[in-house]
Chains A and B, each alone.
Chain A
Amino acid sequence: MTSLTLNAIIEGRQRRGRRHFRLVGLMLVLVLAIFALTLSVGQSITPPGDVLRVLLGENVPGATFTVGQLRLPRAVLAVLAGLSFGLGGVAFQIMLRNPLASPDIIGISSGASAAAVFAIILLGMKGPMVSVFAVVAGLGVALLVYGLSSRNGVAGTRLILVGIGVSAMLESVIAYILSQAPAWSLQEAMRWLTGSVNGAQIGQALPLVLALVVFGGLLLSRSRDLEALRLGDDTAAALGVRVNATRIMIIIGAVGIIASATAITGPIAFVAFLSGPIAARIVGNNRSLLIPSALIGALLVLAGDYAGQFLLPGRYPVGVVTGALGAPYLIYLIVRVNRTGGSL
């Protein structure tokens, strides 16, 4: 290979790299912008100066309660949950090489949600214990779906269909537990059925941050191996990736992060499913999608929650907005794959 072509390749790679970082930076700016918007514009408009002073801990009459107690916890939780769903979702999609194999379609989110609502309503648990319970249950469901769909190797189609069945069952378990609740509150029910960040408290953010650091760190540390898995198990093994170990790590990381978020906000519909493909469409497939997808997830939840609160007639939990958004995309995906004839 002549040095000229080599140079061209290197230069092209650097150019794509710069473009990638520019786009990721743009997403980050967008997330921060919407975050700031949710803090200052709601039913009433708080000037940015006041918002900043509240964030710095000053007591601003009128703004401390609205911004500090209502808007800030809500926005923080939305960002954290969005990051978690986006990251966990894309990890699954890349690992199983199928955008349909996202945790909210194959039943892992509903498993975590069922466990959380079980722990809260029937066992009376509170706080971090609920998250632990949800993570364990999420792992259990992942194992169950994986086990049920493996016969002479796991076929993607079977995995997805088994997942649809499992999540249908778990959703009726959620409905059953909710029917056992002493007071059937619509708001609570909405949280566990479609996901919502209503009534967020800043204390709830702590377990989520922890989960993001631990499980998210695990996923990011495996991101090179994950990229190799995209080429197929055999190729990845030939490249020196220990396929099974990597897969187990990724399942633990992704399920952990998804279940922790679900234990607090409920399964926010389709965020895990949507983030990865949207991120891939924006930044291309050349580099790791983990961080772009996490940012897109945060954008989706923040924007969805904002739209549900202020832009639509009536106030809706974020899951209703993302659910109405995600389903058409799923349909589009089905239609498109028929045209190209390729794998999903």
Chain B
Amino acid sequence: MRLSRRPDLPRSIVARSHRTKSLWLVGLVAILALLLMLSVTVGTREVAWTDIFAALSGKVDDIGQAAVAVRIPRTALALMAGAALGLAGAVMQGVTRNPLADPGILGVNMGASLAVVVGVAWFDIASADAYIWTAVLGAGCSAVFVYTIGSLGRGGATPLKLALAGAATSVAFSSMVIAVVLPRADIAGGIRSWQIGGVGGATFDRILPVLPFLAVGFAISLLSARKLNSLALGDELAAGLGERVAVARAAAALGAILLCGATTAICGPIGFLGLVVPHLCRLLVGVDHRWLLPFSMIGGACLLLAADVVGRIVARPAELDVGIVTALIGAPFFIWIVRRQRVREL
């Protein structure tokens, strides 16, 4: 008699864990909504609530309303960039099975930066579409490059080798960005935006062209959740389960690269977000990518919005680029992961 009840047990556990995860999801969305509101209301200039509502409904009559009107596209950009980077980080950690994978650490964002700078300086690219294609191409090339170097030889892509290859590539690319930009007085003013990422100065005109890229990237990445779950078991086991390992890995990586490249094309390189967010989300929902990926998206958006708001508050009347804030939050986190995990020896 008792035996007959036992099949119910796992199902109830599963149901309960689903309930907890759903609760977390609701909570996270609530936080996101709160941060969206903060991002529109908080800034260098104090704006009255009436002006904020007026601006949200499209009026730009006085300076307060105009200030809020500038914050709206900025908030939208932070939302999308954060979601893209959080998701890209989760996918990269899944694809490489490496806890230190992150678009910033792996030099992917710097690669996109370099590609855009080279395109602007030497090939006179000007249209928004060309920008994004160039950035995606740069991101893809540097991702393949870093991963190839990091995974040469015995032991495959260990965290140390990947991080070192990424760091070296980042420094080299960063040097090259300077080398390309420095003699060009006409674009040298923009050198900062290619070294440090930020979401300031966003307009809907600039955001619009990346939307298709982001949409495709989001779709590919989210659809690869099940494949990433198989890959997490190890290549042999995944192949045994009928997964075409190389194809699955390439598809997921393509999604992540689209997301990073498109984001870097408008924001510049923003580091560490893709590292921090998936780790935090894993604490909440565990390692199942079907939950982890959407959570990383929302979590990434939350973190980037929060970092942007903080950057506006701490350095008044100036603003702190969001790339600086994420590095300040993310680097200690990186160290924490290194200390906590028994990182495989080289």
Contact = CB atoms under 8 A, between A and B. Distances in A.
A316 B179 contact: yes
A162 interface: yes
Interface stretch (B86-94, B170-178, B278-286): B170-178
A90 to B, nearest CB: 19
A213 interface: no
B327 interface: yes
A270 B179 contact: no
Given A172-B324, A186-B191, A344 B346 contact: yes
A341 B154 contact: yes
Contacts of A326: 171
Contacts of B183: 313-315
Nearest to B311: A176
A113 interface: no
Interface in B143-172: 149-150, 152-155, 159-161, 163-165, 167-169, 171-172
A328 B327 contact: no
B98 to A, nearest CB: 12
Contact of A158 (B150, B188, B195, B343): B343
Interface stretch (A80-88, A228-236, A237-245, A330-338): A330-338
Nearest to B164: A334
B149 A323 contact: no
A160 B100 CA distance: 13
- Tell which of B160, B196, B323 has the most Cβ of chain A within 10 Å: B160
B338 A327 contact: no
A173 B335 contact: no
Contacts of A173: 328
A334 B150 contact: yes
A148 B335 contact: yes
A190 B179 CA distance: 11
- Tell which of A172, A175, A335 has the most Cβ of chain B within 10 Å: A172
Interface string A141-185: 000000011010001011011101110110111011001100010
B100 A161 contact: yes
A172 B323 CA distance: 8
Nearest to B166: A164
Interface stretch (B73-81, B130-138, B248-256, B313-321): B313-321
B323 A194 contact: no
Contact of B335 (A166, A328, A330, A334): A166
Contacts of B175: 194, 269, 319-320, 323-324, 327
A176 B324 contact: yes
B169 A180 contact: no
B287 interface: no
A176 B320 contact: yes
B24 interface: no
A165 to B, nearest CB: 4
A163 to B, nearest CB: 9
Interface in B47-64: none
A312 B163 CA distance: 31
Interface in B101-156: 149-150, 152-155
Contacts of B11: none
A206 B332 CA distance: 37
Given A161-B100, A316-B179, A331 B169 contact: yes
Given A168-B271, A169-B331, A324-B175, A338 B161 contact: yes
Chain A's interface size range is: 35 or more
Contacts of A165: 331-332, 334-335, 338
B345 A157 contact: yes
A316 to B, nearest CB: 6
Chain B's interface size range is: 35 or more
Given A179-B320, A186-B188, A316 B171 contact: no
Contact of B171 (A158, A314, A323): A323
B182 interface: yes
Contact of A323 (B153, B159, B174, B346): B174
B31 to A, nearest CB: 25
B324 A161 contact: no
Contacts of A314: 179, 182-183
B339 interface: yes
- Tell which of A334, A337, A343 has the most Cβ of chain B within 10 Å: A334
B177 to A, nearest CB: 10
Given A161-B160, A161-B338, A337-B346, A270 B167 contact: no
B184 to A, nearest CB: 9
- Tell which of B272, B315, B331 has the most Cβ of chain A within 10 Å: B331
A320 B339 CA distance: 32
A175 B318 contact: no
Interface in B184-210: 188, 191-192, 195-196
Nearest to B150: A334
Contacts of B328: 169, 172-173, 176
A148 B320 CA distance: 28
Nearest to B148: A335
A331 B170 CA distance: 11
B171 A270 contact: yes
B178 A168 contact: no
B321 A179 contact: yes
Nearest to A158: B338
A331 B338 contact: no
Contact of A338 (B152, B172, B345): B152
A273 to B, nearest CB: 10
A27 interface: no
Top 3 closest pairs, chain A to chain B, by CB: A338-B153, A327-B172, A314-B183
Interface of A: 100, 105, 148-149, 151, 155, 157-158, 160-162, 164-166, 168-169, 171-173, 175-176, 179-180, 184, 186, 189-190, 193-194, 269-270, 312-316, 319-320, 323-324, 326-328, 330-331, 334-335, 337-339, 341, 343-344
5 contacts: A161-B100, A165-B332, A319-B175, A338-B154, A341-B153
Given A161-B343, A179-B315, 9 more contacts: A149-B338, A168-B331, A172-B323, A172-B331, A173-B328, A175-B195, A184-B192, A334-B161, A339-B153
